[in-house]
């Protein structure tokens, strides 16, 4: 597991001060210096100014804020690129313009030396007994790993994915700093605290843990391969488990045509319309039948093989939907098709997370506007990508959190629709999905399914009736023994107490200043020696201290924007 420890408070020595100052310097250079003041880490301002690139700051002033966020993340390295990619799947946290910009993040890096790759392989595997040949030049290099073309002793051609040396330590250091910054944000920025940044960093750590463990990707590949076992139209590269480890993945090397390369597809004599249908079927089957899908089906991850076979690559990012979520999604689609605004609004609430239910009249009105913008037109004119974007805008506007897997499903559908439109401009993704939607609706109403659900409900009811008297006896026993406690949770109590502390400190400070003024005035009037030009020196010093403290208090109040 990734080791993430909380960094000590401001004023203590940071374990990773150089990296910390580098991160803050990049943020300052891209125009986010206000964070230093808001997060109350003024102690690091000198380090920030030393590491910040002032010339770069001048160049980026004309860029939009989302563009500057993307560029800053790219410069900060692999951990922050991965963070940006995660945030691009969280429309509940960021507006649409930030999501679109973060989707442009490219996970590329300079390759590390071939000698280091060989050393890693020799440490983990009996290299000479496994490999006949390995190409010295990588065929791909990313922030976490790079891939080499190789041949096994069995003469099978493979692709070998090797993790970068020391990447785990780099990620752990960045996550520690990220966790500290998130803690400060949650403590000092009320608008950000709503989104629970500490919890987000912890979630991000879990995502990264899976990404840097290549056995997880191997499992995903095997699972998807089993789902399409017996389907000759779909292919997933085989995994060589015996040669794979958490830091090395050995898989079958596939040569095919990128699905976006129309010229090569036509030259090979392949059927573009058939490829369009098969590609759409692959995506729809994964989502609506298997409940486990390739979450990043962009053209680089889809190859075309002879006989119009679709090959899926890079299954590091996947999504999963349980039966209930799929049925709730179908209910949303059904209510939209039938133009039932109230039912559609309730279906959206089922599919999203929220702390407080939105004002329903306003929410239903926005849902009705959304439906009128898209659905009073022929189905073939409806574009999933635009519909998807408007759903995200609607959710963000009403403070609804779209779960990651729901977002990934919608994004996968929109991506596949774009690939399909490139192959066949007349293809109608909405109509093609209709049979899959009908199938799930019929499954929900199947007699066997309804009987099983009724039996389960009856079992739960019987269990409740049996357990309820025992629970009441236990409660009565706790009351008699005076051991029953009630825990009340007050929302935002910590911030309320912090605000009260600041108010009390200002009052105490004001009283101290007033006391200095009054005491100094009495000393001056009584002409307490020593005297300078007939004025008591002690009284003058007291007045001066009061003035300095008063200016300091006034500056602190103005800086917070509240007089």
pLDDT digits (tens, 9 = 90+) for 235-253: 999 999 999 999 999 999 9
Domain count within the chain: 4
274 with 392, same domain: the answer is yes
Nearest to 481 by CA among 473, 492, 469: 473
Statement to judge: residues 503 and 364 lie in one domain? no
* Helix, strand or coil, per DSSP, at residue 7: coil
DSSP H or E stretch at residue 134: strand 131-134
Neighbours of 537 (CB within 10 A): 15
Boundaries of domain holding 281: 261-445
- Collect all residues with Cβ–Cβ distance below 8 Å to 344 and sequence separation of at least 6: 332, 335, 336, 367, 371
Tokens of 465: 């009736």
Residues 344 and 433 reside in one and the same domain:
yes
Residues 437 and 468 in one domain: no
Hey, is 3 helix, strand or coil?
A: coil
Q: Which sign does the torsion angle of CA 331, 334, 336, 341 carry?
A: negative
Q: Can you give 247-302 as a three-state secondary structure string? A: CEEEEECCCCEECCCHHHHHHCCCCHHHHHHHHHHHHHHHHHHHCEEECCCCHHHE
Is residue 391 located within the same domain as residue 277? yes
**Which of 159, 174, 202 is the C-terminal boundary of a domain?**
202
Q: Please answer whether residues 88 and 103 qualify as being in contact, where contact means their C-beta atoms are separated by less than 8 angstroms.
A: yes
- Please check whether residue 54 is in contact with residue 214, taking contact to mean a CB–CB distance below 8 angstroms: no
Q: What CA–CA distance (Å, rounded) separates 367 from 51?
A: 48
Note whether 467 and 520 are same-domain residues.
no
Regarding whether 482 and 502 lie in a shared domain, the answer is no
Same domain, 481 and 498: no
Residues 417 and 467 both lie in one domain: no
Say how far apart CA 80 and CA 174 lie, in whole Å: 8
Whether 371 and 330 share a structural domain: yes
Residue 10 β-bridge partners:
12
154 falls within a domain = no
Dihedral sign from CA coordinates of 213, 215, 220, 225:
positive
d(CA 129, CA 243): 11
Spell out, as residue ranges, where the chain has pLDDT lower than 70: 1-15, 33, 35-59, 91-92, 106-108, 190-195, 337, 374-385, 444-446, 448-450, 453, 487-499, 501, 558-563
Note the pLDDT of residue 271. Answer: 93
In a domain, residue 284? The reply is yes
Q: Are 348 and 378 in a shared domain?
A: yes
* Residue 95 located in a structural domain: yes
Structure tokens at 471: 């629970």
pLDDT, tens digit (0-9, with 9 covering 90-100), for 131-164: 999 999 999 888 788 999 999 999 999 999 999 8
Q: How many CB atoms lie within 10 A of CB 50?
A: 9
User: Which residue(s) pair with 76 in the sheet?
Assistant: none
* Residue 376 counted as domain residue: yes
The reply to whether 479 and 507 lie within a common domain is: no
Element (H, E) at 336: helix 323-337
Which among 185, 126, 116 is positioned nearest to 152, based on CA atoms?
A: 126
Closest CA to 284 of 270, 303, 297, 267: 297
Residue 140 in any domain: the answer is no
Within-domain flag for 63 = yes
Which has the closest alpha carbon to 413: 321, 293, 328, 322? Answer: 293
Cβ pair 528, 538 in contact under 8 A: yes
Q: What is the model's pLDDT at position 132?
A: 93
Which residues are known catalytic residues?
296
Determine the Cα–Cα distance for residues 241 and 211; give it in Å rounded to an integer: 17
Domain boundary among 433, 468, 486: 486
Residue 454 lies in a domain: yes
The last residue of a domain, from among 202, 220, 246 = 202
**Is 242 inside any structural domain?**
no
Give burial (CB, 10 Å; 0-12/13-18/19+) of 199. exposed
- CA–CA distance, 100 with 310 (Å, rounded to integer): 28
CA-to-CA distance for 136 and 128, rounded, in angstroms? 16
């Amino acid at each position: 597991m990734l080791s993430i420890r909380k960094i000590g408070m401001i004023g203590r020595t940071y374990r990773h001060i150089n990296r910390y100052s580098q991160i803050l310097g990049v943020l300052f250079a891209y125009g986010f210096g206000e964070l230093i003041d808001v997060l109350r880490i003024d102690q690091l301002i000198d380090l920030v100014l030393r590491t910040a690139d002032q010339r770069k700051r001048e160049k980026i002033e004309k860029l939009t804020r989302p563009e500057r966020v993307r560029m800053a993340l790219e410069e900060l390295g692999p951990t922050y690129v991965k963070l940006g990619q995660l945030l691009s799947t969280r429309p509940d946290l960021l507006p649409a313009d930030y999501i679109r910009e973060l989707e442009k993040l490219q996970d590329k890096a300079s390759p590390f030396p071939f000698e280091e790759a060989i050393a890693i392989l020799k440490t983990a595997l009996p290299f000479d007994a496994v490999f006949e040949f390995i190409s010295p030049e990588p065929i791909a290099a990313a922030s976490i790993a790079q891939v080499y073309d190789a041949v096994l002793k069995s003469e099978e051609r493979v692709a070998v994915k090797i993790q970068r040396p020391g990447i785990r330590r780099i990620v752990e250091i960045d996550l520690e700093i990220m966790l500290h910054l998130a803690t400060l944000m949650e403590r000092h920025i009320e608008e950000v605290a709503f989104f629970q940044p500490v919890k987000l960093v912890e979630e991000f750590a879990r995502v990264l843990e899976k990404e840097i463990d290549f056995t997880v990707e191997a499992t995903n590949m095997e699972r998807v391969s089993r789902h399409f076992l017996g389907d000759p139209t779909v292919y997933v590269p085989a995994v060589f488990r015996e040669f794979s480890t958490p830091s090395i993945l050995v898989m079958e090397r596939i040569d095919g045509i990128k699905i976006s390369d129309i010229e090569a597809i036509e030259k090979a004599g392949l059927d573009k319309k058939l490829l369009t249908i098969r590609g759409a079927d692959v995506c729809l089957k994964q989502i609506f039948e298997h409940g486990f899908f390739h979450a990043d089906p962009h053209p680089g991850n889809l190859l075309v093989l002879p006989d119009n076979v679709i090959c899926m690559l890079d299954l590091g990012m996947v999504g999963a939907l349980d039966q209930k979520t799929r049925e709730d999604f179908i209910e949303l689609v059904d209510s939209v098709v039938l133009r039932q605004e109230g039912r559609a609004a309730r279906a959206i609430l089922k599919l999203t997370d929220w702390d407080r239910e939105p004002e329903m009249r306003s929410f239903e009105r926005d849902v009705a506007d959304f439906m009128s913008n898209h659905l009073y037109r022929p189905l073939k004119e409806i574009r999933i990508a635009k519909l998807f974007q408007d759903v995200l805008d609607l959710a963000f506007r009403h403070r609804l959190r779209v779960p990651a897997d729901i977002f990934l499903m919608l994004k996968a559908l929109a991506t596949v629709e774009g690939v399909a439109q490139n192959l066949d401009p007349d293809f109608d993704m909405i109509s093609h999905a209709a049979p899959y939607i009908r199938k799930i609706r019929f499954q929900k109403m199947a007699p066997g399914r309804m009987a099983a659900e009724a039996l389960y409900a009856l079992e739960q009811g019987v269990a409740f009736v049996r357990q309820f008297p025992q629970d009441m006896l236990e409660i009565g026993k706790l009351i008699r023994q005076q051991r029953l406690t009630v825990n009340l949770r007050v929302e935002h109590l910590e911030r309320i107490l912090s605000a009260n502390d600041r108010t009390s400190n200002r009052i105490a400070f004001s009283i101290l200043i007033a006391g200095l003024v009054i005491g100094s005035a009495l000393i001056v009037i009584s002409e307490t020696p020593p005297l300078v030009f007939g004025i008591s020196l002690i009284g003058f010093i007291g007045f001066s201290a009061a003035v300095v403290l008063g200016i300091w208090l006034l500056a602190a109040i103005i800086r917070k924007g509240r007089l």
